[in-house]
A = this chain, B = another copy of it.
Amino acid sequence: MQTDLVAALDIGGTKIAGALVDDHGRILLRAQRPTPAKEDGDTVMRAVEDVLRELTAAPLWVRAGAVGIGSAGPVDASTGTVSPVNVPGWRDFPLVDRVRAVTGGLPVELVGDGVAMTAAEHWQGAAQGHDNALCMVVSTGVGGGLILGGKLHPGPTGNAGHIGHISVDLDGDPCPCGARGCVERIASGPNIARRALDGGWRPGVDGDVSAAAVAAAARAGDKVAIASFERAAQALAAGIAATATLVEIDIAVIGGGVAKAGEVLFAPLRRSLRDYATLSFVQRLTVAPARMGTDAGLVGAAAAALTRDRDVSAL
């Protein structure tokens, strides 16, 4: 029997999505459950098992040769465990063993969700054809992943590319991670909204205080809203430039809800990049919006399973 498919799991704080994916990145079968994020670890695992059972019960399952998991982090690929911040019932939870037990012993590849999204953008999205890339999600949090030398670089524990928690302001505001002035502390959606409110911006009659509402105000010319996006762009630029200076990337791909602000974010980001990406070998660095949609997590988990130690161009 040909095993030309992989099973993919995308595990977040809100939903657990599963799919059977072929080697062209097409999703042939889907299953999904809400994440019982407040429950104990075994209850959360039962939701994962429910998703997997729908996949293993399908006639297509016989063609599945591996399982790829992209999970909210931190993860530890070296031990096969996960400790998602938003799922307190899972701390060092042996997800890989538990998944392997219900999928007939198939090989299981675990990566963080930022790494999975990166694998998807490199395979079929905005980072396609780029051998050295940073891909990011700027949303409630800020995550990311790296392509280095044409290959996914998950790092030994599957967490590499965690750009949200590098400090770009060493004396800055305390971050929930324990450090100060992290990129996420300045550039995430909630921090963009908080800074706008602190500066005197007020929501419309709908009471929407999201970053999307701040973006709409910025487009309408509100100076405080514009300034809050500019500060987020500055922090993102410093973090992206740091990454390029450290590992030599030539593109940064940005997705997530905050990236939907479009030029309200990207215009000041390109300006700020010129301020921080100064050395000769990083001046060619460009930024681009992500192209993969809500399936990026599933497609990326599939890519991670399909490309273990291989170049994505081999697919």
Which residues of A does B touch, CB under 8 Å?
74, 76, 83, 131-132, 146, 148-149, 153, 155-157, 159-163, 165-171, 177-181, 234-235, 238, 241-243, 245-248, 250, 275-276, 278-281
Known A-B contacts: A170-B234, A179-B275. Give 9 more (CB < 8 A).
A153-B247, A165-B278, A165-B279, A166-B242, A167-B241, A168-B170, A169-B169, A170-B181, A242-B242
Contacts of A243 in B (CB 8 A): 246
Contacts of A149 in B (CB 8 A): 153
The reply to whether A161 and B278 form a contact with Cβ atoms under 8 Å apart is no
Contacts of A162 in B (CB 8 A): 245-246, 279
The reply to whether B159 and A148 form a contact with Cβ atoms under 8 Å apart is no
Give the Cβ gap from A313 to chain B, nearest Cβ, in Å. 16
Known: A180-B275, A246-B246, A248-B156. A169 touches B170 (CB 8 A): yes
Cβ contacts A to B, 14 pairs, < 8 Å: A146-B247, A155-B247, A155-B281, A157-B248, A159-B248, A161-B246, A162-B246, A162-B279, A165-B245, A165-B279, A170-B276, A177-B279, A243-B246, A246-B246
Q: What separation, in Å, do the CA atoms of A168 and B163 have in the docked complex?
A: 13
- The A interface, classified by DSSP as helix, strand, loop or mixed, is loop
The reply to whether A246 and B163 form a contact with Cβ atoms under 8 Å apart is yes
Contacts of A74 in B (CB 8 A): 279-281
Contacts of A276 in B (CB 8 A): 167, 170, 179-180
Contacts of A148 in B (CB 8 A): 148, 153
Contacts of A155 in B (CB 8 A): 132, 247-248, 281
Give the Cβ gap from A90 to chain B, nearest Cβ, in Å. 13
**Smallest CB gap from A75: residue in B:** B281
Pairs A-B, 4 closest by C-beta atoms: A155-B248, A166-B242, A178-B278, A157-B281
**Smallest CB gap from A272: residue in B:** B170
**Smallest CB gap from A78: residue in B:** B281
Q: What separation, in Å, do the CA atoms of A179 and B240 have in the docked complex?
A: 13
Q: What separation, in Å, do the CA atoms of A6 and B254 have in the docked complex?
A: 44
State which of B132, B146, B248, B281 has its C-beta within 8 Å of the C-beta of A246.
B146
Contacts of A235 in B (CB 8 A): 170
The reply to whether A171 and B169 form a contact with Cβ atoms under 8 Å apart is yes
Q: What separation, in Å, do the CA atoms of A74 and B168 have in the docked complex?
A: 23
Contacts of A241 in B (CB 8 A): 166-167, 179
Q: What separation, in Å, do the CA atoms of A159 and B181 have in the docked complex?
A: 27
Give the Cβ gap from A194 to chain B, nearest Cβ, in Å. 18
**Smallest CB gap from A112: residue in B:** B281
Give the Cβ gap from A286 to chain B, nearest Cβ, in Å. 15
Among A160, A170, A279: residue with most chain B CB under 10 A: A170
Contacts of A275 in B (CB 8 A): 178-180
Contacts of A165 in B (CB 8 A): 245, 278-279
Q: What separation, in Å, do the CA atoms of A169 and B76 have in the docked complex?
A: 30
State which of B167, B248, B250 has its C-beta within 8 Å of the C-beta of A238.
B167
The reply to whether A131 and B156 form a contact with Cβ atoms under 8 Å apart is yes
